């Protein structure tokens, strides 16, 4: 089996997406080609340790947990990520992939739930969005918009319409902590009757950090 560079593997509650609140094993891969202004996992850009996929699977199994999330950094920046995802699915796990939307997702196994960002203007990485990925999303997948201000919100609304996103997948609107008032965002969603799921990062409410542990 191949090897990957891993920042951490930990057991926590899922803080985002449509499995929020469920016990989940997180595998955080090292490295990311993006530098979003609001990034809360910059510690995963470098370092980490090399682990074989067999060793990663062995550590995951210790938690006896059905749900597994492969995250980063940007997991797809490591080619062997695909092999890891396939092995996790083969073992019967409910596997989600958290990806920036800047790298091609067409090769991701159909059993894997893709939770894909589309970078909003305030991220500083708007030009990295790979819109061709939308064609590879299915009803089980999710697109996340991280919203920091009115401009982000209006841009996200426009993208929903332009790409008819609600017909492709589930949509998540998430406020940037300490930047976008969550109540105001919730009220805008209700006012505009958007077909989206509002989410607040549960792990930050429970543990006041990015990791949820």
Position 212 in a domain: no
Q: Which of 34, 20, 28 is nearest to 84 (CA)?
A: 28
> Strand order in 49-52's β-sheet?
49-52, 3-13, 23-29, 67-71, 94-99, 113-117, 142-147, 170-175, 197-198
> How confident is the model at residue 201, as a pLDDT?
86
What does the angle CA 147 – CA 15 – CA 198 come to, to the nearest 5 degrees? 40
Summarize the confidence of residues 190-200 as an average pLDDT. Answer: 97
Quickly state the pLDDT bin for 130 (edges 50, 70, 90): very high
Quickly state the pLDDT bin for 58 (edges 50, 70, 90): very high
The span from the CA of 206 to the CA of 99, in Å, is: 24
Instruction: Please give the residue range of the domain that contains residue 199.
Output: 3-207
Summarize the confidence of residues 170-176 as an average pLDDT. Answer: 97
> How confident is the model at residue 212, as a pLDDT?
43
Summarize the confidence of residues 95-121 as an average pLDDT. Answer: 98
Phi-psi region of 83 (alpha: psi -120 to 50; beta: other; left: phi over 0): alpha
> How confident is the model at residue 213, as a pLDDT?
40
> How confident is the model at residue 209, as a pLDDT?
67
Position 88 in a domain: yes
The span from the CA of 28 to the CA of 48, in Å, is: 9
Position 161 in a domain: yes
Quickly state the pLDDT bin for 178 (edges 50, 70, 90): confident
| Under 8 Å between Cβ of 24 and 65 | yes
C-alpha distances out from residue 96 to 145, 147, 164, 186, Å: 17, 22, 23, 25
Helix (H) or strand (E) holding 96: strand 94-99
* Domain at 173, CATH number: 3.20.20.70
Number of domains composing the chain:
1
């Amino acid at each position: 089996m191949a090897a990957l560079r891993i920042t951490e593997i930990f057991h926590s509650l899922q803080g985002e997406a449509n499995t929020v609140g469920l016990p989940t094993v997180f595998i955080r891969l090292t490295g990311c080609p993006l530098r979003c202004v609001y990034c809360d996992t910059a510690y995963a850009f470098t370092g980490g340790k090399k682990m074989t996929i067999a060793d990663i699977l062995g550590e995951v199994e210790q938690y006896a947990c059905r749900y597994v999330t492969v995250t980063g950094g940007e997991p797809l920046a490591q080619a062997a990520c695909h092999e890891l995802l396939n092995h996790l699915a083969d073992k019967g796990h409910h596997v989600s992939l958290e990806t920036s939307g800047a790298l091609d997702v067409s090769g991701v196994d159909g059993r894997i739930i893709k939770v894909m960002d589309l970078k909003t203007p305030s991220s500083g990485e708007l030009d990295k969005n790979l819109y061709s990925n939308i064609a590879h999303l299915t009803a089980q997948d999710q697109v996340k918009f991280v919203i920091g201000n009115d401009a982000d919100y209006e841009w996200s609304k426009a993208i929903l319409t332009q790409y008819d996103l609600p017909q492709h997948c589930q949509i998540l609107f998430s406020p940037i902590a300490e930047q976008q008032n969550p109540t105001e965002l919730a009220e805008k969603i209700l006012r505009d009757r958007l077909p989206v799921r509002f989410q607040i990062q549960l792990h930050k409410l429970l543990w006041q950090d990015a990791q949820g542990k």
